[in-house]
């Protein structure tokens, strides 16, 4: 796959971005990505959007947000799974060779509506909604099942969270959450056992935009400097119904990484300089690392991942933006010298029903 | 010109009706997936990836319901994504499936979806909530009033009358009599339409589509798989979409780039799809048009935008039978169209199914002879999202510089 | 189980989710203007377009709208309809709405048209054709909502 990110922007995160209408958040981020790429909107021939109506509190949120995402009188397509799924779709659109220069825009402003109530309504009405599932409850189920399978417990999760906050604390683009004392994590209230409140990555508002180009466009615009190449993409869904195998098997996570690496011609995760994981809780971080055991990349979640910022839905695409900064030597104090190849991971749905992976390479 | 050639090798739909009391949402989606795979002669194992077609979930009442449907449409363990562009969803989902294959990433893709618009009695309330909370939400805008505004503007520009729109309804319901899947059908008269209760000027009840429940699915493949599986595939030769600003007030008047009454995003998209498909004279090269026309007033600006006749001419040609299924210059909505059946999340996909089956010779009682090219459209949002897809019985020349 | 039994059972559900939509500075300025009976359009110097509803950015030039112009209280109808059917959670019919392009502004803004006899719908509709002049009428005590004003026929 030969698709290139030539510019990007990530909005400054906040627990609640209260001073902007959603439309302004999207425009400002898109405008900044175009400026970073040094191209005008007039040059863009298509737009890909990743957005979630229910989180935005709008029945068809792209009605309002397509134009500020640069899509006025352009060929625009929207997926609703996750920001990183949007990057996979955008990469295929360019690889199909009907377009040359695109915008990929994704946003999430969970502060607009009670997130867990929106998640609760993802339950079908017959079997699960009367009982009541949401993100935290399914993550609690996952934590128990994965812990039993891979041999970790909540004390290990306390340490994993602490470690994530330490990495996040070094990332100047994150929220700058204070690193909590391990005791504070261990005594925070249970949300859904064994998951405690402090095991969860705090939800934030945010937006991210990328300018993405075909190889053909780069050839005819030699002055443009690509930040990174997208060389592999993978995304898979697992079953909606939660059983022990579905929860702890992590088959979607494994298959997604395999798909993306295979397309990029990379043999193993051990050949990666960086893997940015979308770990919504400390238990997720432990489970993903357990799967990678023996084939660990050189670095994992250097940015701090969801503990740096977590605009739920966009977090995987933020991981991609962080990986792209590493591959273009723009990661600042957390730069991995000479990083050549990275994978951004994203997850979505109850107990990561969906997983996404994108292989990015230095140009 | 895309990297890989893409073909429809199986296309299917369920019957459409107001309520499906005997099935859940996911069972309905499953029915369409099964039917389409049977038509294509493929098993679920042969499907590489799934694209789910679903518009706002508020009608059927489960957020992100594509996740619920994953296993039922044989998507579990597979690459799976949902496309959502309001009413244009089905057209956009097909085009997303197209890039899965045209990019060379996958060989066989199932595009599937279902909707149950009547699961809530609050459908038009939901369609009011799509408007901007600050500026437009308060004014009773919904899909009915919004398109009534465009229709009134079209009437003022070109002199079309309520009776001429009524004739579109009469023709659609009549065509639908030969379509076993259509929701509304039957022999009605212009007077029946004119005498149905007024809703929002110029609309009477019969000018407006029903709220439908049902499902549709399409199996797409690359050329190699198509050759193995299908004697007469419908090749996807052109895909294009155009998005406008949500603000309808930006699309009217002397300062506007585009004309709201003309649905001219559809025109821009159509001519890009034609360019890809090598269509230079649409009125003579295209035999079937399956249009997204949930209101009687959509057909005229759309057929004009598609280049079948000049601006303002479609109503008179309609009166003369120019868009009739038999004997017209182009058979417009031989299925009966969206005016007879509107399951919002899959309506655009139903247009593809009906157009593809005309090319594949599988349109049953309404099959027309000699269909070489068919066009399928979709529209959504504040009539702001438009898709146009060109289907043909032969593929355009493959790229030589792969 | 009887083979003939019709399957027609439902589980009732309702969904009420509260939302707090951030207003931001552009819309905030507009709604403040309404309190002074002023309709303020955002202006994009890059394209010369004055937008209502106000936009933070210009869709055509994709540059910020960093100016403001005050809209006139007269304008012309671009599109109108008379709603004669009752919809849940919407006003009782009949009522008229119109997109009106106000003086000094490039785009049209929707609002109710009041003060028109709607008893004969086609006759009333013929008075709301595109190009018809209308005026803005404000409430006595505006609250900073879009419904602080409505349109009426100018003559």
Q: Does A166 touch chain C (CB under 8 A)?
A: no
In this prediction, residue B400 has a pLDDT band, given cuts at 50, 70 and 90, of very low
Decide if A165 is inside a domain.
no
* C-beta separation of C110 from B136 below 8 A: yes
Name which of B74, B93, B75, B345 is nearest A235 in CA terms.
B75
What three-state secondary structure class fits A136?
helix
Q: Is the pLDDT of residue C66 over 50?
A: yes
**Contact between C24 and A20 using a beta-carbon 8 Å cutoff:** yes
In this prediction, residue C105 has a pLDDT band, given cuts at 50, 70 and 90, of very high
In this prediction, residue C21 has a pLDDT band, given cuts at 50, 70 and 90, of confident
What three-state secondary structure class fits B389?
strand
pLDDT digits (tens, 9 = 90+) for A127-145: 888 888 899 999 999 999 9
Which CATH number fits the domain that encloses residue A62? 3.40.47.10
**Contact between C25 and A70 using a beta-carbon 8 Å cutoff:** no
- The DSSP H or E segment spanning B99 is helix B89-102
Please state, in angstroms and rounded to a whole number, the distance separating the CA atoms of residues B196 and B187. 15
pLDDT digits (tens, 9 = 90+) for A245-270: 899 999 999 999 999 999 999 999 99
Q: For an interface test with C, which of B63, B132, B137, B149 has the most C Cβ atoms less than 10 Å from its Cβ?
A: B149
pLDDT digits (tens, 9 = 90+) for B186-230: 999 999 999 999 999 999 999 999 999 999 999 999 999 999 999
Q: Is the pLDDT of residue B288 over 50?
A: yes
Q: For an interface test with B, which of C81, C89, C103 has the most B Cβ atoms less than 10 Å from its Cβ?
A: C81
Please state, in angstroms and rounded to a whole number, the distance separating the CA atoms of residues A164 and B311. 62
The Cα of A259 is separated from the nearest Cα of chain C by a number of Å equal to 37
Describe the strand order of the beta sheet including C49-51 as a list of residue ranges: C49-51, C40-44, C67-70
In this prediction, residue A244 has a pLDDT band, given cuts at 50, 70 and 90, of confident
Average pLDDT, chain A: 95
Token reading at C71 = 């809209």
Domain count, chain C: 1
Q: Which residue has the tokens 């059917």?
A: C85
Q: Tell me what the mean pLDDT of segment A169-191 comes to.
A: 96
Cis-peptide, bond into residue A194, ω within 30° of zero = yes
Counting every residue written for chain C, the total comes to 155
Decide if B175 is inside a domain.
no
Please state, in angstroms and rounded to a whole number, the distance separating the CA atoms of residues A326 and B324. 61
Decide if A10 is inside a domain.
yes
Helices (H), chain A: 22-37, 53-56, 62-65, 83-95, 115-120, 135-150, 154-170, 182-186, 215-220, 244-249, 251-264, 282-292, 315-327
Which CATH number fits the domain that encloses residue B236? 3.40.47.10
**Contact between A24 and C24 using a beta-carbon 8 Å cutoff:** yes
Task: Give the per-residue pLDDT at B134.
Answer: 74
Decide if A233 is inside a domain.
no
Range of the domain at B279: 6-121+210-392
Decide if B75 is inside a domain.
yes
**Contact between B239 and A259 using a beta-carbon 8 Å cutoff:** no
Task: Give the per-residue pLDDT at A157.
Answer: 98
**Contact between C59 and B245 using a beta-carbon 8 Å cutoff:** yes
What whole-number percentage of chain C has pLDDT above 90? 65
**Contact between C88 and B125 using a beta-carbon 8 Å cutoff:** yes
Q: Which residues of B touch C121 (CB under 8 A)?
A: 198, 201
Task: Give the per-residue pLDDT at C4.
Answer: 59
Phi, psi for residue C49 in degrees, rounded to 5: -95, 135
Token reading at B376 = 């399928």
* C-beta separation of C94 from C122 below 8 A: no
Average pLDDT, chain C: 89
For chain B, list the contacting chains (3+ Cβ pairs, <8 Å).
A, C
* C-beta separation of B267 from B305 below 8 A: yes
Q: For an interface test with A, which of C18, C24, C51 has the most A Cβ atoms less than 10 Å from its Cβ?
A: C24
Domain count, chain B: 1
Range of the domain at A58: 3-114+204-220
Token reading at C153 = 């026929």
Decide if B366 is inside a domain.
yes
- Estimate the crossing angle of helix A315-327 against helix A83-95, to 10 degrees: 60
**Contact between B62 and A235 using a beta-carbon 8 Å cutoff:** no
Q: Could you give the angle at the alpha carbon of A264 between the alpha carbons of A262 and A268, nearest 5°?
A: 55
Decide if C13 is inside a domain.
no
**Contact between B253 and C129 using a beta-carbon 8 Å cutoff:** no
What whole-number percentage of chain B has pLDDT above 70? 97
Decide if B188 is inside a domain.
no
What three-state secondary structure class fits A236?
strand
What whole-number percentage of chain C has pLDDT above 70? 95
Decide if A61 is inside a domain.
yes
Which residues neighbour A131 within 8 Å (Cβ) at sequence distance 6 or greater?
A: none
The count of other CB atoms within 10 Å of the CB of residue A268 is 13
Q: Does B369 touch chain C (CB under 8 A)?
A: no
Task: State in Å, rounded, how far the first CA of chain B is from the last one.
Answer: 11
Q: Which residues of A touch B63 (CB under 8 A)?
A: 54, 118-119, 121-122
What three-state secondary structure class fits B1?
coil
Task: State in Å, rounded, how far the first CA of chain A is from the last one.
Answer: 13
**Contact between B255 and C49 using a beta-carbon 8 Å cutoff:** yes
The Cβ-side half-sphere exposure at B394, using a 13 Å CA radius, reads 7
pLDDT digits (tens, 9 = 90+) for A230-241: 999 999 999 999
Decide if A73 is inside a domain.
yes
Range of the domain at C65: 24-153
Q: Is the pLDDT of residue C26 over 80?
A: yes
Q: Does A22 touch chain C (CB under 8 A)?
A: yes
Smallest CA–CA distance from B53 into chain A, residue = A79
Q: Is the pLDDT of residue A115 over 90?
A: no
Which CATH number fits the domain that encloses residue C130? 2.40.50.840
Domain count, chain A: 1
The separation between CA A97 and the C-alpha centre of its own chain, rounded to angstroms, equals 26
The Cα of C137 is separated from the nearest Cα of chain B by a number of Å equal to 16
Q: Which of A109-123, A125-139, C135-149 has the highest mean pLDDT?
A: C135-149
With 0-12 / 13-18 / 19 or more C-beta atoms within 10 angstroms meaning exposed / middle / buried, residue A338 is: exposed
Q: Is the pLDDT of residue B398 over 60?
A: no
Q: Is the pLDDT of residue B401 over 70?
A: no
Please state, in angstroms and rounded to a whole number, the distance separating the CA atoms of residues B165 and B315. 8
Q: Is the pLDDT of residue A213 over 50?
A: yes
More confident residue, A113 or B51: B51
Name the residue among C13, C15, C22 with its Cβ closest to that of A20: C22
Q: Is the pLDDT of residue C1 over 70?
A: no
Q: Is the pLDDT of residue A226 over 90?
A: yes
Decide if B156 is inside a domain.
no
In this prediction, residue C90 has a pLDDT band, given cuts at 50, 70 and 90, of confident
Please state, in angstroms and rounded to a whole number, the distance separating the CA atoms of residues A316 and A235. 12
- The DSSP H or E segment spanning A211 is strand A206-214
In this prediction, residue B23 has a pLDDT band, given cuts at 50, 70 and 90, of confident
Decide if B177 is inside a domain.
no
For chain C, list the contacting chains (3+ Cβ pairs, <8 Å).
A, B
Average pLDDT, chain B: 94
Q: Is the pLDDT of residue B1 over 60?
A: no
Task: Give the per-residue pLDDT at A200.
Answer: 97
pLDDT digits (tens, 9 = 90+) for B130-147: 777 677 777 767 888 889
Task: Give the per-residue pLDDT at A35.
Answer: 98
Cis-peptide, bond into residue C94, ω within 30° of zero = yes
Name the residue among B21, B145, B249 with its Cβ closest to that of C52: B249
pLDDT digits (tens, 9 = 90+) for B9-21: 999 999 999 999 8
Decide if A236 is inside a domain.
no
Decide if B160 is inside a domain.
no
Decide if C2 is inside a domain.
no
């Amino acid at each position: 796959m030969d698709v290139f990110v030539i510019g990007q922007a990530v909005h400054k995160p906040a627990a609640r971005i209260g001073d902007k209408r959603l439309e302004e958040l999207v425009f400002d981020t898109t405008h900044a990505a175009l400026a970073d790429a040094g191209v005008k909107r007039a040059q863009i021939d298509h737009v890909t959007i990743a957005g979630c109506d229910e989180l935005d509190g709008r029945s068809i949120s792209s009605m309002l947000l397509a134009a500020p995402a640069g899509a006025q009188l352009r060929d625009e397509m929207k997926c609703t799974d996750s920001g990183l799924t949007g990057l996979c779709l955008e990469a295929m659109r360019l690889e199909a060779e009907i377009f040359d220069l695109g915008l990929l825009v994704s946003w999430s402003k969970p502060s607009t509506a009670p997130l867990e109530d929106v998640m609760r309504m993802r339950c079908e009405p017959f079997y699960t909604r009367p009982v009541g599932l949401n993100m935290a409850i399914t993550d609690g189920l996952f934590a128990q099942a994965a812990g039993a399978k891979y041999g970790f417990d909540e004390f290990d999760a306390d340490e994993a969270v602490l470690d994530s906050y330490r990495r996040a604390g070094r990332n100047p683009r994150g929220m700058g959450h204070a690193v909590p004392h391990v005791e504070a994590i261990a005594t925070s209230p249970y949300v859904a056992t064994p998951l405690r409140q402090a095991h969860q990555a705090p939800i934030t508002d945010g937006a991210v935009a990328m300018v993405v180009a075909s190889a053909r466009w780069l050839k005819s615009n030699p002055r443009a400097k690509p930040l990174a190449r997208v060389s592999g993409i993978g995304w898979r869904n697992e079953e909606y119904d939660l059983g022990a195998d579905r929860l702890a098997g992590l088959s979607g996570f494994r298959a997604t990484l395999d798909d993306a690496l295979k397309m990029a011609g990379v043999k193993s995760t051990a050949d990666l300089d960086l893997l940015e994981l979308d770990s919504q809780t400390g238990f997720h971080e432990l489970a993903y690392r357990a799967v990678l055991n023996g084939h660990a990349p050189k670095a994992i979640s250097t940015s701090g991942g969801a503990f740096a910022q977590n605009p739920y839905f966009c977090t995987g695409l933020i991981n991609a933006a962080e990986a792209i900064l590493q591959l273009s030597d723009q990661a600042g104090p957390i730069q991995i010298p000479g990083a050549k190849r990275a994978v951004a991971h994203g997850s979505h749905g109850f107990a990561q029903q969906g997983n996404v992976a994108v292989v990015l390479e230095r140009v | 010109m895309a990297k890989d050639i893409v073909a429809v090798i199986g296309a299917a739909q369920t019957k459409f009706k107001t309520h499906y009391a005997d099935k859940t949402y996911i069972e309905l989606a499953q029915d369409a997936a099964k039917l389409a795979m049977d038509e294509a002669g493929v098993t679920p194992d042969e499907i590489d990836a799934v694209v789910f077609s679903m518009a706002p979930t508020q009608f059927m009442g489960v957020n992100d319901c594509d996740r619920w449907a994953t296993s039922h449409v044989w998507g579990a363990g597979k690459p799976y994504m949902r496309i959502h562009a309001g009413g244009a969803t089905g057209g956009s989902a097909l085009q997303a499936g197209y890039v899965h294959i045209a990019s060379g990433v996958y060989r066989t893709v199932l595009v599937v979806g279902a909707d149950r618009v009547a699961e809530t009695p609050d459908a038009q309330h939901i369609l009011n909530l799509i408007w901007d909370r600050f500026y437009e939400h308060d004014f009773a805008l919904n899909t009915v009033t919004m398109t009534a505004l465009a229709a009134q503007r079209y009437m003022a520009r070109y002199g079309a009358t309520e009776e001429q729109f009524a004739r579109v309804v009469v023709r659609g319901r009549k065509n639908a009599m030969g379509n076993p899947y259509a929701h509304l059908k039957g022999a009605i008269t212009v007077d029946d339409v004119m005498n149905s209760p007024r809703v929002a000027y110029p609309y009477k009840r019969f000018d407006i589509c029903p709220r439908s429940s049902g499902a549709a699915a399409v199996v797409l493949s690359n050329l190699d798989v198509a050759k193995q599986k299908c004697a007469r595939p419908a090749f996807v030769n052109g895909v294009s979409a155009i998005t406008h600003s949500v603000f309808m007030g930006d699309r009217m008047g002397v300062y506007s780039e585009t004309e709201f009454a003309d649905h001219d995003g559809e025109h821009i998209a159509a001519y890009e799809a034609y360019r890809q498909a090598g269509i230079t004279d649409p009125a003579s090269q295209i035999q079937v048009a399956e249009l997204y026309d949930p209101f009687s007033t959509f057909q005229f600006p759309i057929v004009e935008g598609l280049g079948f006749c000049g601006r303002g001419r479609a109503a008179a040609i309609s009166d003369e039978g120019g868009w009739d299924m038999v004997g017209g210059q182009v058979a417009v909505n031989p299925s009966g169209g969206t005016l007879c059946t509107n399951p919002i999340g899959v309506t655009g996909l139903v247009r593809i199914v009906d157009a593809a089956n005309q090319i594949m010779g599988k349109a049953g009682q309404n099959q027309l002879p000699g269909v070489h090219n068919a066009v399928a459209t979709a529209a959504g949002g504040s009539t702001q999202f438009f898709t146009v897809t060109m289907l043909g019985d032969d593929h355009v020349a493959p790229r030589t510089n792969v | 189980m009887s083979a003939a039994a019709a399957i027609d059972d439902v589980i009732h559900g309702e969904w009420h989710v509260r939302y707090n939509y951030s207003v931001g500075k552009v819309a905030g300025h507009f709604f403040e203007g309404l309190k002074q009976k002023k309709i303020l359009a955002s202006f994009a110097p890059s394209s010369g377009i004055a937008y209502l509803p106000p936009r933070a950015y210009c869709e055509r030039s994709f540059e910020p709208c960093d100016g403001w112009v005050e809209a006139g209280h007269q304008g012309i109808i671009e599109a109108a309809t008379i709603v004669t059917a009752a919809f849940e959670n919407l006003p009782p019919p009949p009522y008229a709405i119109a997109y009106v392009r106000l003086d000094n502004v490039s785009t049209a803004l929707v609002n109710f048209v009041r003060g028109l006899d709607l008893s004969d719908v086609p006759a009333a509709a013929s008075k709301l054709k595109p190009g018809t002049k209308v005026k803005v009428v404000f409430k006595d005590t505006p609250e900073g909502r879009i419904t602080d004003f409505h349109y009426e026929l100018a003559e």
